[in-house]
Structure 1
Amino acid sequence: MSLRVSRTRFSGYFPFSIEKLDSLNEFVASRCNFSGLLPSSLGNLRRLVYLDLSNNTLTGSIPASLETLTQLSYLLLDNNHFSGYIPPSLGNLTQLTTLSLASNQLTGAIPSSLGNLTQLTELDLSGNDFDGHIPSSIGDLNQLITLSLPMNQLTGPIPSSLGNLSKLTALDLSSNNLHSSIPESISNLTNLEYLYLNNNSLSGKVNFQMFQKFQNLLVLYLSGNKLELLFEETRFLNATATFPNLMTLGLGSCNITEFPRFLRYQENLRWLDLAENGMHGQVPKWMWNVSTENLTVMNISHNYFLSGFDQPPVVLSWSGLQLLDLSSNMIQGSPLIPSPSIEYYLISNNKLSGKLLPLICNLTSLNYLDLSDNKLSGMLPQCLGNFSDNLGVLDLGNNSFEGHLPQTYTRNLTMFDASDNKLQGTLPRSLANCVMLKFLVLSIVKQ
């Protein structure tokens, strides 16, 4: 018998009388408004194969009585307000293929007994407050396809036993407190398509060639650690043409000193993060041909030693670029002009000089423009205040602009900073029409 009440208007406490439906083998009550405790009487529904109570507001602990549901294949309790520990007895549900407890308020250590669930293909414990080490017994789940443990407080090293999960296509350990280095055994996961290890405290030297084995890899995110990536260029360059075609690449804060040359063969990149490295010199000219039709986000900020660009085009070649962050480097010359698709353009805290080209006003999709803390000079283009209906932030502070402020502004402007320049004249009356304006900074105007 099956009972499905998803997306209905049922609300209130979960009925304790549920135990009377002892013939149920499928119970789906996701996206309702059930609240309160989950009754232990649920453990009497011993024929259940599928239990989905996700996306409610259930509270309290997960009842240990669920251990009696030994026929369960799917247990979905994600997106509730459960708290307390995972009952170790859930390790008795050896028929489970999917276990999702994501986005709750669960605490404590992940019980090693979950390693008994050898039929699992999906384990999602993300978005809780688990601490302690990742149990090495997770490496016994040799049917796993997806392992998702991000946004917890997990510590310790990545267990080398995870290298046994040969069927794994998605591994997400991001946003924890994991330390030590990336175990060599991870290179055994040759079916990986998604690998997120970002925002931990991983350290040590990692040979980048290990990721070349993942020929199906689409996402590689290592940013926000203390790793030192090693590129053995003499051997690596011969194979760069066969490196996986990635969609997302995050190598921020990985102690990289120059642009990795394998990027020149990447055609499908949408997201590229190379921020907070030690890259120096100029952005090589071959970068202008990397993923020209697909790149939407490029972040090379906070490298501090990047000085400019080798033969840049007048308008950057990435036709779909939406975010370009070049801030906190030592870039000289005039500001680059992205394609009209750009929404966020940050190039603050550099050494830009000269006039701001009127071409900047072709960026009609722009939400955020930050040119602050440079050496830009000359008159501001009069179109600068209203060239984009979406413009919310316009930061021109700490430059050497002179003359008058633009006379018209988009109504959606929330922040306008023109401080520390050489501007003069009266404040434009049209700023009174900016009903969304929260910050207007005109202080310490240079004379």
Structure 2
Amino acid sequence: MKLSRLLLGTCAAVALTAPALADTTLTIATVNNGDMIRMQKLSGDFEAKNPGIALEWVTMEENTLRQKVTTDIATKGGQYDVMTIGNYEVRIWAKQGWLLPLDDLGDDYDADDIMPAIRQGLTYEGTLYAAPFYGESSMLMYRTDLFEKAGLTMPDDPTWSFIGEAARKITDTNDGVYGICLRGKAGWGENMAFITTLANSMGARWFDMDWHPQFDQPEWKAALQYYVDLMEDAGPPGASTNGFNENLALFQSGKCGMWIDATVAASFVTNPAESKVAEDVGFALTPHGEGIDKHGSWLWTWNLGIPAGSEKVDAAKAFIAWATSKAYTEMVAEKDGWANVPPGTRTSLYENPKYQEAAAFADVTLKAINAADPENPAVEPVPYVGGQWVGIPEFQGIGTAVGQQFSAALAGNITVDQALQNAQRFTEREMTKGGYIQ
């Protein structure tokens, strides 16, 4: 689709002027999800406005991306000029001096428009160290036609007990329809993203105030047993290997009655060009435990950052300013419609009548983001920030190892009790090695 002259002029305004950037190639590490793939397709606009800069893309699955960029930045490998990273990494890496500040992305960038909850997670000692491409919380997506057929009404504020009952009721294996799809693929940002927020909303926590792991407590047993039992009764076959992309495909093809995952998925499941069930999707907040006023909501952003020591800083900042600007949002809207713009980062988007009209999920997404509380993620006091993760450097390794145990329990290779015992022992050992436990 040819963009209007006005829109091209708007996008050009956010590109940093850099006459000395000739013959620069930026290598960009990114994740293989729909919004990032769309960005790659539209990046010819950036290259046209910055003829001295060429873009080279390295696109990876989530777990692989996290491993690659962490290794590269920690070893000063220099493979990537722009990295796609999460809000988990930003403050930790900024404290370690691994990221460059991004407080000068141009007069038209309007950093003050970034939603306060999103900006806080990307700021260290008052300075922004990554720019958000999109932000998300978690939400419940469900098939309204299946609920109507089963005589069910989705509450605005559902509990886990209701979800369990509903998932089992709408499961119809004869038609290949499963009541619920949830992440099962092992990884600190895969199955543990969901399971951690589930546990938070059932009263569990990763650590007590003295950093002792809590997998031996009844709240964790209740949460993990609920998850495994629910998926055994109402989940699809092979759920232990399913992550975001796999569950998205299942939901879009009509195989899932409910799916609890990132709010960013809403535009994909309601897009008639991609989803067979686009006209029959409803939304609700992520559930909570009985008598517990804390939703299983996470807060995540995919962001663009520049590794310290980069020799292509000006070019990298020019690209980041383009990719995370208001003008980029307008360009996506012009090409693919307002419902498909990158969500969850700018206040102005949720004040835009065109977006509110086009995106039926906008209101629930905003409520979910506001319901997330990464500064106080658990019911009981904890010594960490997070939500679906724990804000310490060791969490990548610990979270992935625990995720492997929980995925094995989901697959039926070990029991829930064995998974929790293994998680407790491993986490105690790693926290002792890290000096958290004496």
Quickly name the TM-score band, shorter chain normalised: under 0.3
* Structure with greater proportional helix content: 2
Q: Higher relative CO (CA 8 A, sep ≥ 6), structure 1 or 2? A: 2
Q: Tell me the TM-score normalized by structure 1.
A: 0.18
Report the structure, 1 or 2, having the larger strand content.
1
TM (normalized to structure 2)?
A: 0.18
Q: Over alpha carbons, which structure has the higher Rg?
A: 1
